[in-house]
Structure 1
Amino acid sequence: MALAARYDDLVIRPDHTHDQPRDRYTPEDHAVWRDLFRRQAALLPGRACDEFLAGLKGLGVASDGVPDFERLSDVLEQATGWRIVCVPGLVPDDIFFGHLAARRFPVTWWIRQRAQLDYLQEPDCFHDIYGHVPLLMNPVFADYMQAYGKGGLKAAGLNALHHLARLYWYTVEFGLIEQKNGDLRIYGSGILSSKTESIFCLDSPAPNRIRFDLMRVMRTRYRIDTFQKTYFVIRSFDDLFNATRPDFTPLYAQLRGQPDFTAADIAPQDDVVTRGTLNATDGGWGDTADA
């Protein structure tokens, strides 16, 4: 069944949400979920951050098929006050920020087709549920996401959304974290839901790994058609939240007079993070990554 035919008759509310149409998932949809889940579950121990793995376990996300969003919401709400809201796909910026500010995370209801296991241009429910939602079980990260939503509503009126989008991209989607034992781990959902980038981001010598700096991040363009050229590394979620807690209004004013960095640039002031062992060679990696 064509994707459009599977949701064009859903009742969409003014906030772009709708009920999860669980009866529309096919046996193949559940099989795709199982295959995606199992390969990430085998790959991520030792690569994903401790907070993600704890959230995944506490949330009770399982490998048996596309989960019931309401059940997950009930668990999530008990932990951090967040809920999942079902949406047909990408939603307008103001709607997205409004949901985050109210501690609601928009989750796409449909799942990719088997031919898209390794690359998808827009997020599906595996990316949203498996990649994003477990970290919302962590109180500090949950507060960061709400603060980001509130900041987005303000940025829209200051013509600064492109700067804030870069922050989301390099943290929520493609962030790395240094754990207390010094290990470099993944927390970005775009990596966590991708087999190939879960390996590339830690093992390849090709990308830059730079210590997180808020202004540097907001000046850095990003690529959506390839593996990331640069990953920014935080020390902890507390550090991330504290760095982004202040009002960004004066920062946006400063950014207007500064040039952007490309996705691959290294600046003289960058604190480059090196990893003890990088065994892979650049030649072994492709040019596409999961959505």
Structure 2
Amino acid sequence: MSADGVTLAPPPGARPDWTIDQGWEHYAQAEHDVWITLYERQVKLLEGRACDPFLRGLDSLDLHRTGIPDFARINEELMRLTGWTVVAVPGLVPDEVFFDHLANRRFPAGQFIRKPEQLDYLQEPDIFHDVFGHVPMLTDPTFADYMQAYGKGGQRAMSLGRLHNLARLYWYTVEFGLMESPQGLRIYGAGIVSSYAESVFALDDPSPNRIGFDLERVMRTPYRIDDFQQVYFVVPALQTLLDVTTHTDFAPLYDRLATAADIPIAAIEPSDRVFTRGTQAYADAGGRTAA
């Protein structure tokens, strides 16, 4: 949706729901090689870092094979496990289109892959972020239901003018969420598991705060879109995410948020359950701008 509220038309070649054909047969070997390089180094790194549902999803979908996955192939297993499918889109889609896909158990994924010189950082999500990062979690029934509930919640948030608050929930869970486990904190957020550097930073670096998940706290906290996060929120289990989206009446919550100030991104609140009180040294040094 544009800034003035006018619904954007899909680009040439896209269907009314903004989907396109993946065109798997048109990928060059160099593009498959980028996928293989990214996949192999992430899988080595994520053992002992990613949560068990993510690792099981990787095994179930067999995302390695000979390169970039064919959506038609992985959708057969994904549909069997949780009733979801992956649909190709030409890039970022309007909010209402995104929420409609999620509400109907369709995950919109970009079809392009980054260049070899962009292995470590890419601002716009590509097929590696979207498929490697997001889709394995959609094999887990609880997380799959959470994503559908989020899509339905997004449609309501748009009608109530609180989308920016709900976007923070997506950011700090689906993209950059951490989870407790008997072995310690584990990653489930797609923005972390698809990033070599942030997979290390999110768990090991002393800079960020790591705080127990609380719905209202998360929805009052801004986020970084262009660098490592200054705060990560930790859920005790995936069921927590589904419970808060299906058992919470968001209307009175949005009423409270309308008059509540944002919580500064690096703040620690008295009511926070603190796993790590970060030094914020990385952010204070300027982050990527100092590199």
TM-score, scaled relative to structure 2: 0.91
SS in 1 for 2:274: coil
Partner of 1:215: 216
Identity of aligned residues (%): 56
SS in 2 for 1:210: strand
- Counterpart CA distance in 2 for 1:32 and 1:122 is 16
- Counterpart CA distance in 2 for 1:244 and 1:78 is 24
Q: 1:114 to 1:286 in 2, by over 3 A?
A: farther
- Counterpart CA distance in 2 for 1:21 and 1:120 is 22
Q: Compute the displacement of 1:224 (Å).
A: 1.0
Q: Compute the displacement of 1:282 (Å).
A: 5.6
Partner of 1:73: 75
Q: 1:74 to 1:286 in 2, by over 3 A?
A: farther
- Counterpart CA distance in 1 for 2:126 and 2:107 is 13
Q: Compute the displacement of 1:99 (Å).
A: 0.2
1:251 to 250, 253, 259: 253
Amino acid aligned to 1:168: Y
Whether the 8 Å contact between 2:174 and 2:189 is mirrored in structure 1 is yes
Q: 1:9 to 1:188 in 2, by over 3 A?
A: closer
SS in 2 for 1:85: strand
- The yes-or-no answer on 1:53 pairing with 2:58 is no
Q: Which consecutive segments of 4 or more residues in structure 1 shift more than 2 A?
A: 8-11, 285-289
Whether the 8 Å contact between 1:170 and 1:231 is mirrored in structure 2 is yes
Partner of 1:166: 168
Partner of 1:38: 40
Q: 1:10 to 1:257 in 2, by over 3 A?
A: closer
Partner of 1:5: none
- Counterpart CA distance in 2 for 1:28 and 1:247 is 49
Whether the 8 Å contact between 1:220 and 1:261 is mirrored in structure 2 is yes
- Counterpart CA distance in 1 for 2:102 and 2:95 is 11
SS in 2 for 1:119: coil
- Counterpart CA distance in 2 for 1:141 and 1:240 is 8
Structure 1 unaligned spans of 5+: 1-7
Partner of 1:106: 108
Structural RMSD (CA): 2.1
CA deviation profile, 1:79-116 (whole Å, cap 9, x unmatched): 00001111011000000000000000001001011111
Partner of 2:3: none
Structure 2 unaligned spans of 5+: 1-9
Q: Compute the displacement of 1:136 (Å).
A: 0.3
Partner of 1:192: 193
Partner of 1:118: 120
Q: 1:182 to 1:45 in 2, by over 3 A?
A: closer
- Counterpart CA distance in 2 for 1:190 and 1:110 is 17
Whether the 8 Å contact between 1:222 and 1:262 is mirrored in structure 2 is no
- Counterpart CA distance in 2 for 1:92 and 1:33 is 27
- Counterpart CA distance in 2 for 1:81 and 1:232 is 28
Partner of 2:203: 202
Q: 1:68 to 1:229 in 2, by over 3 A?
A: same
Partner of 2:156: 154
Whether the 8 Å contact between 2:208 and 2:276 is mirrored in structure 1 is no
- Counterpart CA distance in 2 for 1:251 and 1:273 is 26
- Counterpart CA distance in 2 for 1:227 and 1:166 is 15
SS in 2 for 1:84: strand
CA deviation profile, 1:202-260 (whole Å, cap 9, x unmatched): 11111000000000000000011211000000000011211222231110001111100
- Counterpart CA distance in 2 for 1:230 and 1:189 is 16
CA deviation profile, 1:7-32 (whole Å, cap 9, x unmatched): x9973100000111123211111111
SS in 2 for 1:62: coil
Partner of 1:4: none
Number of aligned residue pairs: give it.
276
Q: 1:125 to 1:102 in 2, by over 3 A?
A: same
CA deviation profile, 1:161-180 (whole Å, cap 9, x unmatched): 0001000000000000001x
Whether the 8 Å contact between 1:85 and 1:106 is mirrored in structure 2 is yes
Q: 1:288 to 1:10 in 2, by over 3 A?
A: farther
